Every structure is written in C-alpha cells, then in structure tokens.
Amino acid sequence: MKKILIVDDNPQNLYFLEIMLLSNNFGVNKAANGKEALKLAHDDPPEMVITDILMPVMDGFSLCRELKNDELLKHIPLIFYTATYTDPKDEEFALSLGADRFLVKPLEPSEMLKAIRDVMMLSERTLKPVPPEPADNENYYKAYSETLVRKLEEKMLQLERMNKRLTALYQASCEMVNLRASSEVTHMVLRTVVETAGYYQANYFEFHDQEKLLLLAGSFGLSAETETTYRDRLAFKLGEDKGVVGKVAETRKVVVLPDTTADPRWIRLDETILSALFVPVQFETHLIGVMGLFSKEKDAFKTHDIQNITSLVNSLAVAIVNSETEIKLQRQLQKISALHNIDMTINSNIDLHTTLDGIIQVSMEELGVDAADIVLFNRYSLSYDFSAGRGFKTRPVDAQDRRDRMAMAERVIMERKLVHDRGAELFRSSPAMATLWAKEEAKEYWGVPLIARGEVKGVLEVIMRRKFDPSPDWLGYLETLAGQAAIAIDSIGMLEELQRSNIDLRVAYDATIEGWSKALDLRDNETENHTLRVVDMSLRLAEKMGIKNDDLIHIKRGAMLHDIGKMGVPDEILHKPGPLTDDEWVIMRQHPQFAYEMLSTISYLHRALDIPGSHHEKWDGTGYPRGIKGEQIPLAARLFAIVDVWDALRSDRPYRKAWPDDKVVEYIKEQSGKHFDPAIVEIFLELLKSDYKV
C-alpha cells in the first residue's frame, strides 16, 4: 500500500483528503504544517506529499524547498493543493521549486485521484531532476516575499468584502388581521337608527369572508332571551334562500318586506314584527355586512325612509371601517414594534440563544399560539438541535426522545416549505410522536423552514391546543417571524465566521512577517536567532514601560522586521569578516531607508515602521539615516535601539568576540544621553537586574 503524506492546517481539509485516500487503498500520514511534515517525512518517508501552501510555522513553499534540498527526500513527488494561491505566477513559482503538480481547490475526487496516479506513474518511470539551488538566494527570497505579499493583499480584500456589511433582509409587516367591527360602535349606530326613525328593532349581521357567513354581531331592541334562543337561526350563508340576509349580501341590493306575515322568505321569530327592511352595508365594493330594521306596523318603510336609512347605513359602514382601521393600525404598530425589537436584538446581541428566545416570545404573544420552538439544522453533520422553546408541557428525556421530536422538523426541512398538520401525518410517521402529541394536548402544528441565502438554517415550530383556522395575515406574520429567525441565525453565524477570519488573517500577517524574518536570518547566518532574542527583550521592556495592547503587537512586528532593509545590502558587504570601508558604510547605512521603501506600501505595517526605519538614530542626533534626536525619534525605535545594541555586543561577530555582560552594561550606561534615551536606559537596567546578576 503506497503511503501519502498530506499537509494542511485545516482539520476539515485533512479529514476529507484522508477519507478519499483511504477509500482508494492509499496509506495516509497527516501533518498540520511544513515543520511537522518534514519530521514525518524523515521518520517515515512517503511515496508522495500533498500539501497546502498557506500554513503557520512553515508554509508549503518552504516545505517543498526543504524536501528538494534533502538528499534522502528529494526524489519524493510533491503536489500543491491550494485554494489561496491561484495566480499563474504562484504555479510558476511552485513548479520552479520542484513541485510535480499545482492543483487548485476544490477538485472533484476523480480528478484528484487521476492527478495522484499520473504523478506516481511518472515518478516510477523517471527520476525527476531536482532544480539546482539558485545562485542568488536574494532572487528566491524576493519571489517568495512577493508571493506572500500578493496573497496577503488578496486576503485583506476578502476581509473588506466580508466586513461589508451584508444587506439585512427586513420583511414588510403582514396585512391587517380581519377584525370584527367594534361592538360599541355597532351598538351605538343601531340605537341611533332605531331612535331616530322610531322603529321597533335593528340587527346587524357581520360578513365573514373566509367562511362566507353572516352572523349576528349587534342588535338593539332584540331581547337577550330571543337572541340566545334563536342564535343558530340567525346565521346565514351568502346567497342562501333561507331568510333574506344571504340574498341581500349576495346581490348588494335593498330588500323591503312590507308584510312579513305574507312573505315566505320571512323567518318568524317575533310575531309582533309586521314589516322589515334589509340594507347591504358596504364600503366602496367591500361587503361588510347587512343591516336589518323591523317595525310593528305593516308597510312601515317608505321610499324616503329607505333613502334616509341607506344614508345612515353608509355612516355605519364608515364607522365600522374606521373602527376596524384603527384596530388594525394598533395591531400593525404592535407587530412592527415587535419586529423592530427583534431586529434590534439581532443587531445588538451576538448570543444566538437569547435572540431566538426573543423571537419565540414574540411568536407566542403576537400569534396567540400555545407553544413554540426553534430547531437548528447542521448541514455538515445533518443533525438537529433544539435552540429555544416555550410553552411545552414535556421535555425530552433521552437521545431517542429528542430524535422522535424531530420528525416534523425533518419533514419541513426536506420539503423546504410551510407544513401544517393536525396529527394525521404525525401518527403515521412516528408512534412516539403521536404519544408526545397526546401529552402536549396539541390540535394544530405549523412548521416553517428558516431559509437564509438559499440555505435551510432550521425550523420554527408552533402548536395550538385548540382547533384554529388561520387567516392569510396570520400565516404571513408567522413566515415573517421565521424570516427574522433565519436572518438572526445567519447574521450571528456570519459574525462568528468573520471573527474567525480576522483571527486567521492576523495569524497570516504574523506568519508572513516571521517568514520574512527567517528569510533574513537564513541570509545573514551570523545573526541567526538575533531577531528572536531582540523581539522577546523588546516586548518585555515595552511592557515594563507600560505599553499595552495593539502597541505591543506593532513593536513585535517592527522588531521582527528591524533588519529587513539588509535584503538590499550586497552579500560582500553584509558578510564581510572585517571592518567596512567608508563607501561600504554608506551602502550599509541605507538599510533603514530600504526597509521603509519595502514596507511603507503595506498599510497594516505602517505603525510597525518606527523600528525598521529609525532604530539606528541616536539620542544626540548623530545617528542615521535622518539624524533626528531626542524625542523626535519614535519611542519604539528608542527602546529597541538599546535592546539591539545589548544583544549585538553579547553575541559573536566575524570581526570580534562577544563582550561579557558587565562590559555590555557599562557601555550602555556610558552611552546614556548620547546614543540612548536616559529614561529608557534606567528602565532597561532595572529589567536586567531581575534577570542577571550585574
């Protein structure tokens, strides 16, 4: 079985590659970065290496270079597999290092396997020559740095796009719920009609559009006993022949019964009523109901009476519409306020459970449901999880019970649409769910998928413990709340992802800087580990001086890059074993300016430029490159100058041996007020006393 070493800092990527390779009879070793991979390759040489590029500690480019420079490992074929480095220049650079293939994620498994087998077959037939080490390492490090900078800039653009806030989707409030007219308004108008015209009785039948029914909603002059006794007979269907109310509602025409005793349409409930008038109550083309007026006299309704009553009925229609409109506006404002509160919660609260619990509370208050919950769906593990819920009488007791409760949520997610059930489907799909249904005393179930940006995030479930026929507005508001829940889940998830991306980007920043620093140390072997020592001591000194937070980060970056300008100094000067000539010093003293020119175009390093650009300035103004003095020199550069000289004097150089500690300390004291800031010298010496016996 051929063994493949896969290298990636993303555990998920490692997992998918491992599964694919194992299922195709390959052995697998795994590493999270180039350094781990190099050790594994030495301990257990593989037949192939597949590696990502952007990784901490040691990236893929460096790993490839190390492998191809190793006599024991240089024959191992290597494939780059990356989603970050996609530029043709990246591929050219990778192949120049000796890589066999350069593949861009994502790739179909069949294509990936074909590439692996092709490379292995070619490797078995021929021994791929290793590209010779470039004569000028500077070109390699330059290309390496340019590649890293280009990718870093791309990452920064991605972050800016991610930081752009995504357009928060805020749905319009639902249509007004169809409310009955105010009983007080109706009763007042009926009383006015009776008292003004002197009639015996007046009834108002309200039209219910959904059921196409006209039901007694108000009366004046009708005894409570009669209303209670004959309530069932005082309900009429639109257009039905029984009685007159249904026909008046259908035709929208006034009907007069001059003699009820002789009219077969009359329903005899009160023997004293001898004539009747029925007028449709409508606002514009909208049917609201039917007004019935009754008299103890025959032929009591004359033409002029009908005209007057019609005018009064029109007033009734306006009063009812106004009353309904006011109630609807109040309800609308209440719902908008509830949605606004949800929106504010989404914007201000990064705790998902708290946000979803608020949506559940609004669902119960505004929809009048008895219980509600939100089930989250994990599309990676295909699992479900209760996030928030209220109003339930039972709780899951074990894993199987929780799974049974998901039966309807799973159906909603599969169908990706609102599901309404009165128990029939539940009983068929899950006997356990039927038992739960009975314990909850549920009669109605609604489940709405929570969809954001085309992905199902979960389900909003509500139940009623009574029979209920919802209006379109009720269903619309339910879906609006589901939309808010989906936005909350998606927004908070995106925020968490953005936070992770920020961390990853900061790691990438620091990894890039460390790469530059290591590149310089590799070039200038005499100062190897000098950078790590001065970074550590600079941070300790800065902390002792009270410098905190982001300022420490910029000092660390500046210290790591303090000699980056030496990349522009020729090797014959940088590595010269003896003293430099005046002309050579002119070139050497340009390295702070080289550093500034190299780094000033990188915005995130602007605050770290103080050290690379000014750490050779002196307190008395005799330093370089600008000859500034005193507090004109940036604070970071002043403190680093002491640390840099301290470490340099304690280290061997080609032209001298390291000084003993006491001699170094005496020199720093002697240079206080000349080379160094006196105040910082005192703090530095206090720091040394805690570490060394001086």
Instruction: Give per-10-residue mean pLDDT for the chain (694 aa).
Output: 92 90 92 94 94 89 91 92 79 88 88 92 67 54 63 54 33 31 68 72 87 86 73 78 85 91 85 90 87 89 77 73 70 68 63 77 82 83 75 73 75 86 64 73 86 85 86 85 82 74 72 72 64 89 90 89 84 80 87 85 83 92 92 94 92 80 92 94 91 56
Which strand ranges, in their side-by-side order, compose the sheet holding 255-257? 235-237, 213-220, 201-208, 286-295, 275-283, 255-257
Cα 344 from chain centroid (whole Å): 16
What are the two backbone dihedrals, phi and then psi, of residue 240, each rounded to the nearest 5 degrees?
-75, 155
Between CA 39 and CA 61 the distance in angstroms is 16
Other beta carbons within 10 angstroms of residue 646's beta carbon come to: 23
CATH fold label, 183-329: Beta-Lactamase (3.30.450)
Enter the pTM of the model: 0.39
With contact defined as beta carbons under 8 Å apart, do 488 and 518 qualify?
Answer: no
* pLDDT at site 168: 26
Other beta carbons within 10 angstroms of residue 25's beta carbon come to: 8
* pLDDT at site 674: 94
Structure tokens at 94: 């990778």
Structure tokens at 176: 């007004």
In sequence order, what DSSP letters do the residues of 158-192 get, joined into one string? HHHHHHSPP----PPPPPPP-PPPPHHHHHHHHHH
In sequence order, what DSSP letters do the residues of 17-69 get, joined into one string? HHHHHHTTT-EEEEESSHHHHHHHHHHS--SEEEE-SS-SSS-HHHHHHHHHT
* pLDDT at site 637: 93
With contact defined as beta carbons under 8 Å apart, do 201 and 293 qualify?
Answer: yes
Which strand ranges, in their side-by-side order, compose the sheet holding 3-7? 27-31, 3-7, 48-51, 78-82, 101-104
Q: ∠ at Cα 453 (450, 455), nearest 5°?
A: 55
Between CA 221 and CA 574 the distance in angstroms is 112
With contact defined as beta carbons under 8 Å apart, do 244 and 269 qualify?
Answer: no
Between CA 339 and CA 357 the distance in angstroms is 14
In sequence order, what DSSP letters do the residues of 392-454 get, joined into one string? -S----SHHHHHHHTHHHHHHHHHTS-EEESSHHHHHH-HHHHHHHHHHT--EEEEEEEEETT
Provide the strand spans (E) within 196-299.
201-208, 213-220, 235-237, 255-257, 275-283, 286-295
CATH code that applies to domain 524-691? 1.10.3210.10
Helix, coil or strand: residue 201: strand
Residue spans of alpha helices (H) in 201-302: 224-229, 245-251
- Please state the length of the chain: 694
What are the two backbone dihedrals, phi and then psi, of residue 503, each rounded to the nearest 5 degrees?
-65, -45
Between CA 303 and CA 363 the distance in angstroms is 53
Peptide bond connecting 106 to the previous residue in cis, omega within 30 degrees of 0: yes
Q: What residues does each domain of the chain span?
A: 3-140, 183-329, 352-496, 524-691
Helix, coil or strand: residue 380: coil
CATH code that applies to domain 3-140? 3.40.50.2300
Structure tokens at 269: 């409930």
What are the two backbone dihedrals, phi and then psi, of residue 464, each rounded to the nearest 5 degrees?
-120, 145
With contact defined as beta carbons under 8 Å apart, do 645 and 538 qualify?
Answer: no
Q: How far apart are the first and last CA of the chain?
A: 62
Give 3-state DSSP helix, strand, coil % of the chain, rounded to 5.
Answer: 55, 15, 30
- Asked whether this chain's domains 183-329 and 352-496 adopt the same fold, the reply is yes
CATH class of the domain defined by 352-496:
alpha beta
Identity of the amino acid at 320: I
Contacts of residue 533, defined as CB under 8 A and 6 or more positions apart, other chains included, come to: 647
